[in-house]
Amino acid sequence: MTALRVFLLLFVFATAMRGQTAHVISKDSIITLQKGAKELFAKRKFNEAIRYSERALKHASSIKNDSLIAEAYCTLGMVYIQMQFKDRAIENFDKAIVYFTKKNNTKRLMQIHSDIGYYLFKNDQADAAESHLKLGLALSKNFKADISSIKPKYYIGQLFLSKEAYDKAKDCFQKVIAYCNDNPNYLPHHDMLQGAYYFSGKASFLQGNLDEAETFYKNTIAICDASHKEHLEVLSLAYQDLTKIHAAKGEKTAELEALAKHIEAYENFSLYKKEKLLSEIVLKYGIDEYEDRLEAIEADQETKELYIDNFQRLTTILVVILVILVLLTGVFYLNQRARVRTNALLSGQNKQLIEAKKRIENVSKIRTNFFSLISHELRTPLYAIIGMTNLLLLEKPEKFQEKYLKSLKFSGEHLLAIINNILQMNKVEASKTKAIEENVDLRKNIKNVITSVNFLVKENRNIIEVKIDENIPSQLLGDSLKISQILFNLLDNAVRYNMEANIRLRIKQVAETAETVVLKFSVKDNGLGIPQQKKHVIFENLEKGIILTEDNGYLDLGLGLSTVNNLLKVLKSKLHLRSVLNRGSEFYFELELRKVEIASMEEDVEIQHKTYNFKDISVLIVDDNAVNGLLTQKILERQQIQTKVVLSGFSALDIIEKQKFDLILMDMFMPKLNGLETIEKIRENNHDIPIILLTAMEVSDAYAKAVNTTISGVISKPFEPEMLYGKIDDVIHQASEE
């Protein structure tokens, strides 16, 4: 019995000793595995490092050693970082943090938070990086003697610099500099001190503190060791920014010296990077590894020789397949050559089409500019002709003189209508005209159109009859100006080419909905009619070479009907013709206009011959054309307005500095300093004087050019005096209210 007890005691003791020995051996083997993993990681043999770390992790988990588990996860995280597997790296680091936290290993937690934060910062995850760095920074206070405790401050300073929080960044780097200088454990070959000086200089440079930045950069250069390869990059960057500082200060010699040193440091750093990359390649794909691979290949070769016989059986099949592939390749080659030839032909044709398109666009642009220039140059003298004629008519001339003056005015207005048609046709064809929606009073529009052609009606002894359906609302919504232009051209044609004829203008409502009405407009005469052979060409544009022959003493250039047809296209309608030779013609079209509530319409009050009070008002007239300037002056003086005329923008700038004016009438096109440039210079001197543009351009075109200029309005030459008086009254009244 006693012998049995002794045996059992010895068995238990031996078992306990064996378990303790196994435990010690297992822990040592784990440490050995982790050491091997780190060595493989240093040699950049990542796959093998992962295998070692995973084995260490497995053994550490089996003995439930939290410290070894955390170190294994940490090693895996570092390997995955180098392999650019971000998600796996973060996952392993997070697990390491859990186990380090369980063991309350605050030093390793500080280091790992710092490393993760810097890695996230380098991968543009600023918010996550800041969170980890702040945790590392909080833990670093417990290990001030350890050099790694300053890394969170160094890394978070770079983060603040990237966020343009320059003062915070400089504060961090100053603390790093103070720590490195005061800590005996900081060694010269470390690069944090150099980096802290450089980043401090960078923050000062970005803030515009060039002198402070220069000091930091020089300190960086002073402590950098050019023989220390890791210092070359900071040295290169410091000299680069120093070059910019000297350039900003105008220090050419210092700039060139800094640039030369930057280039030298940069070239040395580039050479170092190449050597490092080459060594990594050799390390990764070195001779030893190739020898290992060769041994593996030889082993595989022995296995593969067993299958050679099977491959020989496939030789015949492969030959047949090869022949088929050769035939298919030949067919493909022939097809490809044909395709290349076709593509070359199409490419040539495309180039020709592109060149033709460019030529057409260039011709169109030249034509547009030509029409605009000609229209402007013709409207300018017409302003003088029509304006002077109006002034002479107001002077109560003799009866025979009045007749001549009215003929002169009619000719001028007729020429102006032709110019307007040219400009309108050009704008429509250039797609610059769009339909607008505004109030339309058909009865008033027709009254104005009849007034415009009344002189020619009397000359040709015609009679115009107007019929408008009573059911048509008095107020509608549509493009009032274009409707007036269309009716004017149709009536003008009817009156001009018919002597002693009856002309009827009729507007009839042909359809109606709850929101719209459809109106049919027709202009009919009982005159000469249009020959059958000309019906298909009368709507064509002038550019197509169509010039109608002389009928009834007039030469028709085809502008009126072309303008009508183009305007109707904008309004989504079409002009139609019915004509019988020697019995007359009828032109008609339909338009859809929207209804509008009468209560919502503003009352249209005519302001003709309004009485104005322009006493003590002074106006500066700026016009390089002396005749036009004089004409404008005479028109204003009829209302007792005090005026001064200057012939250039420079003269205007001089006189407004010496004399005060209530208003400026500014011509747009003047040599050397045009109207818009003159206005900009006036506004630069804080002059808020009202300015009205007087221009031979159309009002819409003038406003488009003056979109960035502060003006009070635009009046297009020629104009009726009442229009100018009304505009001046509005502007002066508005200025006085302000």
Q: What is the CATH number of the domain that holds 635?
A: 3.40.50.2300
The average pLDDT across 634-638 equals 89
Bond preceding residue 718 cis, omega within 30 of 0: yes
More confident residue, 191 or 427: 191
Q: Read off the pLDDT band of 553 (50, 70, 90).
A: very low
Establish if 421 belongs to a structural domain.
Answer: no
Contacts of 651 (CB under 8 A, 6+ apart): 622
Instruction: Give dist(CA 736, CA 316) in Å, integer.
Output: 105
Q: What residue numbers bound the domain in which 454 lies?
A: 434-599
Give the other-Cβ count within 10 Å of 728's Cβ. Answer: 25
pLDDT for 511? 92
- Nearest of 527, 516, 535, 648 to residue 584 by alpha carbon: 527
Same domain, 561 and 638: no
| DSSP 8-class letter at 710 | -
pLDDT for 603? 43
With residues binned 3-state (H G I as helix, E B as strand, rest as coil), the percentages for the chain, rounded to 5, are: 65, 10, 25
pLDDT for 592? 93
Q: Is 211 exposed, middle or buried (0-12, 13-18, 19+ CB in 10 A)?
A: exposed
- Tell me the three state secondary structure of residue 490: helix
Torsion of CA 169, 172, 173, 174, to 10 degrees: 120
- Nearest of 643, 648, 650 to residue 664 by alpha carbon: 643
List pLDDT tens digits, range 45-55: 888 889 888 88
- Tell me the three state secondary structure of residue 466: strand
| DSSP 8-class letter at 510 | E
Name 478's bridge partners.
438
Indicate which CATH number applies to the domain containing 486.
3.30.565.10
Establish if 544 belongs to a structural domain.
Answer: yes
Same domain, 446 and 593: yes
Contact 405, 389 (CB under 8 A): yes
Residue 584's H or E segment, with its range, is: strand 584-595
More confident residue, 419 or 61: 61
pLDDT for 365? 67
pLDDT for 77? 86
Residue 732's H or E segment, with its range, is: helix 721-737
- Tell me the three state secondary structure of residue 691: strand
Same domain, 460 and 575: yes
- Which of residues 572, 599, 626 is at a domain's end? 599
Q: Read off the pLDDT band of 733 (50, 70, 90).
A: confident
**609 phi and psi, to 5 degrees?**
55, 35
pLDDT for 554? 43
pLDDT for 601? 44
**613 phi and psi, to 5 degrees?**
-115, 90
Instruction: Give dist(CA 624, CA 380) in Å, integer.
Output: 11
Establish if 482 belongs to a structural domain.
Answer: yes
pLDDT for 290? 45
Q: Read off the pLDDT band of 559 (50, 70, 90).
A: low
Tokens of 117: 């934060």
| DSSP 8-class letter at 537 | T
Establish if 355 belongs to a structural domain.
Answer: no
List pLDDT tens digits, range 450-500: 887 888 888 889 999 999 998 898 889 998 888 988 999 899 888 888 888
Residue in this structure with the two tokens 């009405």, named with its chain if needed: 517
Strand order through the sheet with 691-695: 642-646, 618-622, 663-667, 691-695, 713-716
Contacts of 110 (CB under 8 A, 6+ apart): 136, 139, 140, 142, 143, 148, 149, 152
Residue type, 516: T
Establish if 510 belongs to a structural domain.
Answer: yes
| DSSP 8-class letter at 533 | G
Q: What angle do CA 231, 234, 237 make, to 5 degrees?
A: 145
Same domain, 660 and 728: yes
List pLDDT tens digits, range 678-710: 998 888 886 789 999 988 777 777 777 887 788
Same domain, 572 and 681: no
**538 phi and psi, to 5 degrees?**
-70, -15
Among residues of the chain, what percentage have pLDDT more than 90?
13
Residue in this structure with the two tokens 């004087």, named with its chain if needed: 689
Same domain, 452 and 554: yes
Tokens of 393: 């008519």
The average pLDDT across 619-644 equals 90
List pLDDT tens digits, range 221-253: 888 877 777 788 888 888 899 899 989 988 889
Establish if 566 belongs to a structural domain.
Answer: yes
- Nearest of 717, 715, 708, 710 to residue 730 by alpha carbon: 715
Half-sphere exposure of 432 (CA within 13 A, CB side): 14
Query: Whole-number mean pLDDT of the chain?
Result: 79
- Nearest of 647, 675, 668, 655 to residue 716 by alpha carbon: 668
Reply yes or no on whether the pLDDT at 19 is more than 80.
no
Strands of 469-567, DSSP E: 476-478, 502-512, 516-525, 550-551, 554-555
Contact 693, 677 (CB under 8 A): no
Same domain, 545 and 627: no
Contact 643, 633 (CB under 8 A): yes
Same domain, 544 and 668: no
Number of domains in the chain: 2
pTM of the model: 0.41
Residue type, 523: V
Contacts of 243 (CB under 8 A, 6+ apart): 255, 258, 259, 262
Reply yes or no on whether the pLDDT at 376 is more than 50.
yes
Which own/partner pairs from 30-37 qualify as long-range (CB within 8 Å, at least 24 positions apart)? 30/56, 30/59, 30/60, 30/63, 30/65, 30/68, 30/72, 31/68, 33/59, 34/68, 34/71, 34/72, 34/75, 37/75, 37/79
Establish if 449 belongs to a structural domain.
Answer: yes
Reply yes or no on whether the pLDDT at 627 is more than 50.
yes
Q: Exposed e or buried b for every residue in 301-336, given b needs 16+ CB within 10 A?
A: eeeeeeeeeeeeeeeeeeeeeeeeeeeeeeeeeeee
pLDDT for 286? 46
Same domain, 535 and 635: no
pLDDT for 555? 43
Torsion of CA 47, 52, 57, 59, to 10 degrees: 150
Same domain, 644 and 573: no
pLDDT for 519? 95
Angle at which helix 86-102 crosses helix 66-82, to 10 degrees, equals 160
The average pLDDT across 88-104 equals 85
Instruction: Give dist(CA 13, CA 21) in Å, integer.
Output: 12
Residue type, 61: S
- Which of residues 599, 631, 646 is at a domain's end? 599
Name 588's bridge partners.
522, 576
Same domain, 636 and 583: no
- Tell me the three state secondary structure of residue 516: strand
Same domain, 637 and 706: yes
Instruction: Give dist(CA 696, CA 306) in Å, integer.
Output: 99
DSSP string, 7-46: HHHHHHHHHHHHHHHHHHHHHHHHHHHHHHHHHHHHTT-H
More confident residue, 505 or 555: 505
Establish if 625 belongs to a structural domain.
Answer: yes
DSSP string, 250-285: T-HHHHHHHHHHHHHHHHHHHHHHHHHHHHHHHHHS
The average pLDDT across 99-123 equals 83
- Which of residues 542, 572, 599 is at a domain's end? 599
